[in-house]
Amino acid sequence: MNLTKKHPKVKLGHGVTPLESLPNMSKLFPFYQLFIKRDDCTGLGMGGNKTRKLEYLMAEALSHNADVVITCGGVQSNHARQTAAAAAKLGLECHLILEPVAGTPKAYYQESGNVLLDHLFGAHIINISADEDSQAKMEHLAESLISQGRKPYIVPMGGSNIVGSLGYVACGLELAEQFKSQSLSIDTIVLATGSAGTQAGLLVGLALADLNINVIGICVSRSGNEQEELVFNLVQQILGYIDKPELISRDQVVANGSYYGEGYGILNTQTVDAINVMASKEGILLDPVYTGKAMSGLIDLATKNLLSGEKILFLHTGGSPGLFAYQTQL
């Protein structure tokens, strides 16, 4: 399926990201062989999954003749960082609405990691309080800019609307080609799931490629039931957009809410252990908010022999700049 025929995209990333084996991690689990899809290597502003989404979102912004983009997220938002990088690459002004995250470190958190990169990419940062509505703030800022003769484009939190999710529909199709070229039959894919666009898009892409692979989202911010509803609602929107309404059923959407701990962005021992083992065994950096928690879930499920099949793929969605903001806890 040619997604760009229905909706254009602008090239921001490196293209096809590596699909590699994890031989040292695999030795830890007698029942499984582990692989990794390196979407931390997308190339834009230190990489990450949001680059794929932004290729479609920024194309839409340009089609609307936007000269400024606005988005929001937590203080250490990977999405905000990659949006700022995309805006810099395309010569657009960028405004970031950043909200505090309870339970996060005091030292380094407000100025290191992604925040430092936001500044380097030239973004205008607006910090709001926990009781303020980030969506309302974005809309108010857009109205103010319009009154000044500007043409703002609002990128949704996480880039997770229909347009942004097309990036992971494309990723699912990309994976199908990689599986074919490597003669690889993956049984289960594990990934971090938050704003829902990555998991929703991936499910649609795999279904379009006629691949029957279990996809398990490890929740980073809410219960499994809540996350499944969020993902499935977006899946249905995407399927309606591409005129394939019956392609995916509700029972294909699986999210596990057992590993996010006390809440979004709050580091726990299991996540620290997962970050350490991936770094020391494979030389791969995870992050404290998304991929570290997802890997902690994969490790626990694999240790308990609860994953379907033998060949397991971890989708690395990036986030390593956030490590520097959590250095006192790591």
Helices (H), 182-290: 197-208, 224-241, 269-282
Catalytic residue among 21, 26, 63, 77: 77
| Matching residue, tokens 């103010």 | 144
| Matching residue, tokens 């995309």 | 86
Contacts of 272 (CB under 8 A, 6+ apart): 288, 292, 329, 330
- Among residues 243, 260, 154, 255, the alpha carbon closest in space to that of 202 is found at 255
Most distant pair of Cα atoms in the chain: their distance: 62
Q: How far is the C-alpha of 152 from the C-alpha of 74, rounded, in Å?
A: 21
C-alpha triplet 201, 83, 198: angle, nearest 5°: 15
Is 144 assigned a catalytic role? Answer: no
**Residues forming the active site:** 77
